[in-house]
Amino acid sequence: MKTLKLRLKDKHAKQLTAISGSVNFVWNYVNELSFKHLQRTGKFFSAYDLAEYTKGSGALLGLHSQTIQAISETHAKNRKQFKKAKLRWRTNKPKAKTKSLGWIPFKKSAIKHLATRQSGKKALKSTIQLSLAKGQKLIIELFDSYNLSLCQINTLELVQDARGRWYACITVKAKAQNDAKAQGGTGQIGIDLGLKEAATTSDGDTLTVKQTQKWAKKLAIAGRAKNKQRAQAIHAKIKNTRQDLIHKFTTQLVKNNSLIVVGDVKSKSFTSKKTNLAKSTYDAGWFELKRQLDYKCKHAGCRFEIVNESYTTQTCSSCRQISDSSPKGRQDLGIREWTCECGVTHDRDINAAKNILAVGLDRLAVGIPFL
């Protein structure tokens, strides 16, 4: 199973915004009901319990019964995941202080793929029928870059972004011939995550993001001019470009390797006020890179490991010893190249990536040596 994100035509925006208001109404109802039940009994409602209290409401709200069930299931799942007694209130009113982005879930029985047609020389457009309340149908048209006619649609969620654009997030099961193309390679690689380069592999390949820095000037101009629409467009450009760069990098890694090992570096350790590295850390997209590698490796049958990267920068990947010349701590972040006492000259990040791969292969019997 994999998830495809396809953009809808803008003509559907007004209707989808109205339907998302009904979804928010159901969410707020089960949210309040679950919280009051917890106060009275000390127990949480399950998704099954919530379904009893929302039964038959679809006709009044204009929603499919399974859409209402999906809302209750998502609420129960999120409450458990985030360990909250009560989740955030949802509203799409324009004047609300905290406006929620639109969200409409659909299950398999409420989805029907009608057609995929050619639009231009290469582009495809698909038409999907979604069931609402009894006898009501919603026909949506979307820009199809994956050719949905070759896939088996499982679930679909319509989601809105900060710019008011709507997308269809579709979980699909590709046909056997497509799955056969997604097999990983035979190589083995280690990855060191950093700030100068978002990621450096043990083979010497690098991923450079730095999109926030690239667009900072134009973003500042839009901010001073109080041009909210332009600022949102720039933020979307930064996000989409970062996603694209990481996607291309991770896809190539999965194609070429059967084992991928990444260090367990945490963003929290670099985002405090003392370090002044928060902007660079968030721009590097470490979490997104690891998230993409995780699901792509599962899909391709590739092994993905996250290992302890302690002392991987300081240790020589050749003699496996920590010399006095190796970079140590944040004060030595400026040292990009160093020579070990054994005579081998190392690039800081490539050396760390090689050590990370060694930890993943369990080649170091007692782990990385400590000072």
Q: Is the pLDDT of residue 79 over 50?
A: yes
E-assigned strand segments in 321-362: 337-339, 345-347
Per-residue pLDDT reduced to its tens digit, 161-195: 988 899 999 998 865 434 444 555 678 999 998 88
Residues 218-242 have pLDDT tens digits of 999 999 999 988 999 999 999 899 9
Q: What is the pLDDT of residue 370?
A: 45
Is residue 17 over pLDDT 90?
A: yes
Burial tier of 148 (Cβ tally within 10 Å: 0-12, 13-18, 19+): buried
Summarize pLDDT for 288-347 with one digit per residue, the tens. Answer: 999 999 989 988 888 999 888 888 888 888 887 787 777 776 556 667 787 887 878 888
> Does 94 score more than 80 pLDDT?
no
Predicted TM-score of the model (pTM):
0.74
> Beta strand pairing status for 2-7 and 166-174?
antiparallel
Q: How far apart are CA 76 and CA 120, in angstroms?
A: 44
Which has more confidence, 321 or 146? Answer: 146
Q: Is 51 in a helix, a strand, or coil?
A: helix
Q: Which residues lie closer than 8 Å to 251 by C-beta, 6 or more apart? A: 296
Nearest to 143 by CA among 28, 326, 9: 9
Least confident of 38-52, 168-182, 194-208: 168-182
Contacts with 273 (C-beta within 8 Å, 6 or more apart), sequence order = none
Give the model's confidence band at 36: pLDDT under 50 very low, under 70 low, under 90 confident, else very high: very high
DSSP state of 9: P
Q: State the average pLDDT over residues 256-268.
A: 86
CA atoms of 352 and 363, how far apart (whole Å): 15
Spatial contact of 306 and 289, defined as CB atoms under 8 Å apart:
no
More confident residue, 309 or 108: 108
Using 50, 70 and 90 to split pLDDT, how confident is the model at 15? very high
Side chain identity at 209, as an amino acid letter?
Answer: V
In the predicted structure, residue 9 carries a pLDDT above the cut 90: yes
Phi-psi category of residue 304: left, alpha or beta, with phi > 0 → left and psi -120 to 50 → alpha: beta
Give the per-residue pLDDT at 273. 67
| Direct distance between the N- and C-terminal alpha carbons of the chain, in angstroms, rounded to an integer | 46
Q: Is the pLDDT of residue 125 over 90?
A: yes
User: What pLDDT score was predicted for residue 184?
Assistant: 59
Give me the pLDDT at residue 244, please.
92
Going by the DSSP 8-state scheme, the letter that residue 262 receives in this structure is E
* Tokens describing residue 278: 């928060």
Distance between CA atoms of residues 318 and 355, nearest Å: 9
pLDDT of residue 265: 83
Looking at residue 371, its pLDDT comes to 40
**The token pair that represents 248 in the structure block:** 């291309």
pLDDT of residue 274: 67
Mean pLDDT of the chain: 86
- The pair of three-digit structure tokens given for residue 339, joined into one six-digit string: 């020579």
Give residue 54's pLDDT band: very low, low, confident or very high (50, 70, 90).
Answer: very high
- Residue 364 is predicted with a pLDDT of 41
Q: How far is CA 227 from CA 10, 218, 233, 302, in A?
A: 22, 11, 10, 46
pLDDT band at 8; cut points 50, 70, 90: very high
